[in-house]
């Protein structure tokens, strides 16, 4: 793996953790919302913490899809599990949430599983895909040319 690949995996973890933390903080300020009351949803999205959380989660999605373009899901998801640790630390020390010892144990178990996954290849080899031939639509140039 290249330095760029490690940077992308780190971005996935950081953007997801920061985005989720921002959403949590903003939603605690906004209060309870329901889909049935569209105005409460709009108020929530307009909260700066929620809006910035959404932007960070869009960055997460961009880095996540980038990682999936060169590695298997079974590699990317565990390799980005550092995000669980980051999120727990942010929740505990910045958002002042209670993280029980059982949750810390669960986070440690998930994170330790990364060691097993990291030893394997990032990409499973597959046979090359056959090119997809597009069927000509009625009225298209391909059909018109075939009739002549």
Higher pLDDT, 27 or 119: 27
DSSP the chain: --HHHHHHHHHHHHHHHHHHHHHHHHHHHH----TT-HHHHHHHHHSHHHHHHHHHHHHHHHHHHHHHHHS-HHHHHHHTTHHHHHHHHHHHHTS-----HHHHHHHHHHHHHHHHHHTS-SS---PPPPPPPPPPPTTSHHHHHHH-
pLDDT above 50 (res 77): yes
pLDDT band at 64 (very low <50, low <70, confident <90, very high): very high
Q: What is the mean pLDDT of residues 81-85?
A: 84
Instruction: Assess whether pLDDT exceeds 80 at residue 41.
Output: yes
Give the pLDDT confidence score for residue 75 in this predicted structure.
83
Confidence of residue 148 (pLDDT cuts 50, 70, 90): very low
Say what the pLDDT of residue 110 is: 81
Give residue 131's pLDDT band: very low, low, confident or very high (50, 70, 90): low
Place of tokens 């391909």: 142
Which of 4-13, 107-116, 118-127 has the least mean pLDDT? 118-127
Share of the chain above pLDDT 70, in %: 79
Closest to 76 in 3D by CA, of 31, 10, 134? 10
Break the chain into its structural domains and give their ranges. 3-118
Query: What would the two tokens of residue 104 be?
Result: 């810390």
Instruction: List b or e across 61-70, with b for residues whose CB sees 16 or more CB atoms inside 10 angstroms.
Output: eebbebbeee
């Amino acid at each position: 793996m290249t330095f760029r690949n490690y940077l992308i995996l780190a971005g996935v973890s950081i953007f997801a953790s920061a985005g989720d933390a921002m959403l949590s903080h903003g939603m605690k300020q906004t209060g309870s919302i329901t889909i049935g009351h569209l105005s409460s949803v709009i108020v929530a999205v307009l909260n700066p913490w929620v809006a910035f959380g959404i932007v960070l989660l869009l960055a997460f999605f961009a880095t996540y899809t980038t990682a999936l373009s060169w590695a298997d899901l079974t590699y990317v998801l565990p390799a980005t599990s550092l995000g669980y640790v980051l999120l727990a630390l942010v929740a505990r020390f910045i958002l002042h949430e209670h993280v029980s010892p059982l949750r810390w144990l669960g986070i440690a178990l998930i994170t330790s599983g990364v060691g097993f996954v990291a030893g394997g290849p990032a990409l499973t080899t597959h046979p090359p895909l056959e090119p997809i031939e597009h069927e000509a639509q009625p009225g298209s140039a391909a059909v018109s040319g075939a009739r002549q």
